[in-house]
Amino acid sequence: MIDMHCHLDLFPDPEKVANDCKDRKLCILSVTTTPKAWIGTKNLAKGNQKIKTSLGFHPQLAHERCAELEVFDELLSKSEFIGEIGLDGGKKFQSHSKVQKHIFSHILRNVQKDGGRIMSIHSQHAATAVLNELKQYPDAGIPILHWFTGSASELKQAVSQGCWFSVGPAMLASQKGRELFLNMPHDRILTETDGPFAMVNNRPLMPWDVELVFSPIANLWQMDINVVKQKVISNFHKLLKVGRKNE
């Protein structure tokens, strides 16, 4: 199983969750929300090559942590993956749009200069703005739009720009999420949980709960569930082959 977007460091007992992921042989992209969190979060992956720690700067925290941009730059060369980054146009964060855009643009520019990365990107209420920024930095790497919630036209644009998509049980629990999913290319689909923020049955999703996404995908694609699992694994290996920065 592959969880391409979870916040390992934000579970109540992250060490236990990391050990459980190791026992279950899960592949995890452990995204961070601030640059300063990267080193401590990376320590959770010690002894487990299947957990990769992603250097992030969450847009909802941009206005509070803008001084950490320098820390991001210092750590960039040490991180294979980037995320969670992006923009958030929600009502609570609209007044911080300028600082969000400044940080997102800065990150994309520097990632592009450093050879590109696989990037897990937040685009809630800001899909068009995110896509416009990505256009400016075409060699920044491969963008994975995590839990995409934009419009059908924004999805079409994202597909045309080469974006990938990580989808989870919480996304496919909604009618809109399922409708969007049906228009995403099969060969650019990855699985995620967004735990512990995403919830199912009033409980936070754990990384191994990524298993819950396969049944709805199988129903929507009208495929055998084992075929779906193999497709996701194939997509994952394709992503690593074409998008990861050489170590």
Domain locations in the chain as residue ranges: 2-243
Q: What span, in angstroms and rounded, lies between the C-alpha atoms of 78 and 198?
A: 28
Q: Which two tokens stand for residue 40?
A: 């401590």
Residue 141 has pLDDT above 90, yes or no: yes
Q: What is the model's pLDDT at position 236?
A: 96
Mean of pLDDT values over 167-184: 97
Token pair 């999703």: residue = 205
Mean of pLDDT values over 117-128: 98
Q: What is the model's pLDDT at position 101?
A: 98
Strand partners, 199: 204
Q: Which residue has the higher pLDDT, 246 or 173?
A: 173
Q: Against a cut of 0.85, is the pTM above it? A: yes
Residue 247 has pLDDT above 50, yes or no: no
Confidence of residue 244 (pLDDT cuts 50, 70, 90): low
Q: What span, in angstroms and rounded, lies between the C-alpha atoms of 67 and 34?
A: 11
CATH architecture type of domain 2-243:
Alpha-Beta Barrel (3.20)
Scanning the chain, the segments in alpha helix (DSSP H) are 14-24, 37-43, 62-65, 69-75, 97-113, 127-136, 152-160, 175-181, 214-221, 225-243
Write out pLDDT tens, residues 56-76: 999 999 999 999 999 999 999
Q: What span, in angstroms and rounded, lies between the C-alpha atoms of 207 and 188?
A: 20
Q: What is the model's pLDDT at position 77?
A: 96
